[in-house]
Structure 1
């Protein structure tokens, strides 16, 4: 069993996690079902073990067979509201890199008691909560259909035969017979998923998934084995700007999503993208999620196939009026870089964007932001720097975000800003000589 000893905190928007409306049954934008999804039935033929005994949580091996596992989707877990016995969750996630041997990681990282999942399935989403015919297959854990995950732990499933293409809407369906106490998951998904009473995980129809949720429950990572052994991933460690606040929900328009699209057609070994942003997160202090320093190991360094950590945090430390100095924030960056390098991975950092006009902006915080950005532009502590400040700022008023990129609150970029950020990343610098 892999144990994660964090207590957890309720994220700012965790109350949006529970069911919010009746399932609309609307079709997502066609761009969410690319040419790879036409072979969605490739996620097929799996031998199902009849055992229903509970199995302890296990870490994912570094490799399965000859091919190394690489994360294709991830979202940082935090404490959600109370779990409910007998509930089912059909969680929609979008793959970045394609491959075979799909595995999912279920999480009880913030639970205070064991969590049992007695049915876990994965299939390719068609529309709404409905799946492509013939694509839904049961996942097992150590050969068992049931897994019990201890408090503070995670568990990886066994690999599924078949392949999953890049850019696929994957539906992971979970059922828990006895959930209680704090649930673990990602509060602000910017993605509609589905819930229902009872176990309908094996069904490909969406009929019994009658309610919706804006969170990912009990799921925090998916991996595949890419066809090329050299394929690796980048993990974006960030706050709400990485989490995607003010991007359009259900269309995968967070900046890491745009980055994944660029990587898909680029001549690079970096193909996977893991979005480890938490809205309201800070580098130095707990609050909306554990601090970046605290959660780096669980959320990033345990993910399979990560070559590079992309660090884009700091604005919440600066605007919190807690007296954080530039020196303190820089020390936090240096510690993250040191730990990532010690793990043999690369670090790319991004400058902190402008936010004058946000209610918490003040000249003192602006001074800290400028000092931090000056450090980032000149440091050798990281392997590369992406200057998101220069991308987003108004050239005529550099303390403010360019109106064309402003999501409306003078801090968070809209879809155009998210795309501009992704376009500014030098793909050749996502790998380093380490």
Structure 2
């Protein structure tokens, strides 16, 4: 369900479209960007030091393109990531570390095959002569022994990408096309590789900024996540109308700047959204839209942080929207899903207040009413049982429903 800023209330394809001002889909598609972001997996913390082994990261792209570039990042390390070698190729299946013959390329950084990434910094490879289509699996094999491991850990049971393989032998195994040097697939675990760009006929990227609901936590059955469903729908459009989708979800993330409710170390769940907005969203090439779905962890609270008041959540969302607009992008807001808070409780009142503000404030260029899509018609404080994994998270059926519910006109695209 989606709301746009229009002067009247209209019923369109079963969704309610609300509000005033300019329509989110009013601007025509821009010409193809020199480069857009075709996939992302935001890093969340640093966990240990890498052994004398190679990690083969696997990410799935959401748009076609050529001249691939990969970003390696060291946002959390207390020392440099000294990269000795990076190989980039294509994998026919994410279930196997074997690569498509002839696809593996030795990456360079300003012409050099090594790079030192300082704490807080990132490095893009030079363009690589690799062509991809939507759904292709890109492997990024990194050899950086002794480096702080800046990672993303995508909680199982998600069995598809992103994920990685770790070599079982010492040394640089990046050129191993057969994959025999690597162990079993590690669902959701990525080291250092957080974005891939390409020169693409798609006219930009949607970045989904969120928490575990966007990250895909417990979308049982191996996905697809709702962001993957959205990408599949967009890729069914004519080539000139397409956008890439880059998933910047991190499980446990908060939309406001506060202590993380689940982890006093600050390494489990990424920095709060305002603190990671530049790295995970605004710094990426080709961004046109941001889709914000956050607030559950702020409102829910936990052992290390109390439930946040509505004003704190709203102020954080307003600040993020203002920064996105200043950067020249549009922002789409999604309402907070039911959380099993008792009707009339402080937390439920906070959630309802935040959602009312999202729907009516005019802060967002469009609104997706995810709350209305998944709530139980007989008890709006919970997700409808067939679509629910637990109190906070949809299951795979819920993710599918969310992805299919999105009105594509929120992104200037044709159709519901």
State the TM bucket, normalised to the shorter chain. 0.7 to 0.9
Aligned with 1:245 (options 217, 223, 241): 217
Distance 2:143 2:208 in 1: 29
Q: Does 1:391 align with 2:373?
A: yes
Distance 1:105 1:361 in 2: 45
Aligned with 2:323 (options 312, 324, 339): 339
Native 8 Å contact 1:95 1:168 kept in 2: yes
Instruction: State the partner residue of 1:183.
Output: 149
Distance 2:289 2:363 in 1: 14
Q: Does 1:206 align with 2:190?
A: no
Instruction: State the partner residue of 1:227.
Output: 201
Instruction: State the partner residue of 2:397.
Output: 416
Cα 1:423/1:307, change in 2 over 3 Å: same
Q: What pairs up with 1:30-41 in 2 under 5 angstroms?
A: none
Distance 1:323 1:398 in 2: 20
Question: CA offsets, 1:25-74, max 9 Å, x none?
Answer: xxxxxxxxxxxxxxxxxxxxxxxxxxxxxxxxxxxxxxxxx951100110
Cα 1:136/1:286, change in 2 over 3 Å: farther
Q: Does 1:254 align with 2:236?
A: no
Native 8 Å contact 2:108 2:114 kept in 1: yes
Question: CA offsets, 1:68-98, max 9 Å, x none?
Answer: 1100110111213112242210111100011
Q: Does 1:141 align with 2:122?
A: no
Distance 2:69 2:89 in 1: 12
1:355 to partner: Cα distance: 1.6
Instruction: State the partner residue of 1:164.
Output: 132
Q: Does 1:131 align with 2:105?
A: no
- Normalising by structure 1, we get a TM-score of 0.79
Distance 2:140 2:223 in 1: 17
Query: How many residues are aligned here?
Result: 359
- Secondary structure at the aligned position of 2:297 is classed as helix
Distance 1:286 1:208 in 2: 41
Q: Does 1:154 align with 2:122?
A: yes
Question: CA offsets, 1:366-419, max 9 Å, x none?
Answer: 110011111111121110000000111011111111111012x22211111111
Cα 1:152/1:326, change in 2 over 3 Å: same
Instruction: State the partner residue of 1:280.
Output: 252
Aligned with 1:310 (options 291, 306, 331): 291
Question: CA offsets, 1:121-140, max 9 Å, x none?
Answer: 11111241111111111111
Instruction: State the partner residue of 2:88.
Output: 122
Native 8 Å contact 2:90 2:100 kept in 1: yes
Cα 1:361/1:303, change in 2 over 3 Å: farther
Question: CA offsets, 1:322-350, max 9 Å, x none?
Answer: 24211221111111110000000000000
1:178 to partner: Cα distance: 3.2
Q: What pairs up with 1:335-374 in 2 under 5 angstroms?
A: 335-356=319-340, 363-374=345-356
1:177 to partner: Cα distance: 3.3
Distance 1:275 1:116 in 2: 27
Instruction: State the partner residue of 2:29.
Output: none
- Secondary structure at the aligned position of 2:280 is classed as helix
Distance 1:87 1:362 in 2: 54
Distance 2:246 2:363 in 1: 23
Native 8 Å contact 2:46 2:77 kept in 1: no
Instruction: State the partner residue of 2:273.
Output: 292
- Normalising by structure 2, we get a TM-score of 0.82
- Secondary structure at the aligned position of 2:92 is classed as strand
Native 8 Å contact 1:234 1:270 kept in 2: no
Native 8 Å contact 1:270 1:431 kept in 2: no
Instruction: State the partner residue of 2:263.
Output: none
1:112 to partner: Cα distance: 0.9
Question: CA offsets, 1:104-145, max 9 Å, x none?
Answer: 000111111111111111111124111111111111111111
Instruction: State the partner residue of 1:83.
Output: 49
Instruction: State the partner residue of 1:74.
Output: 40
Distance 2:101 2:348 in 1: 54
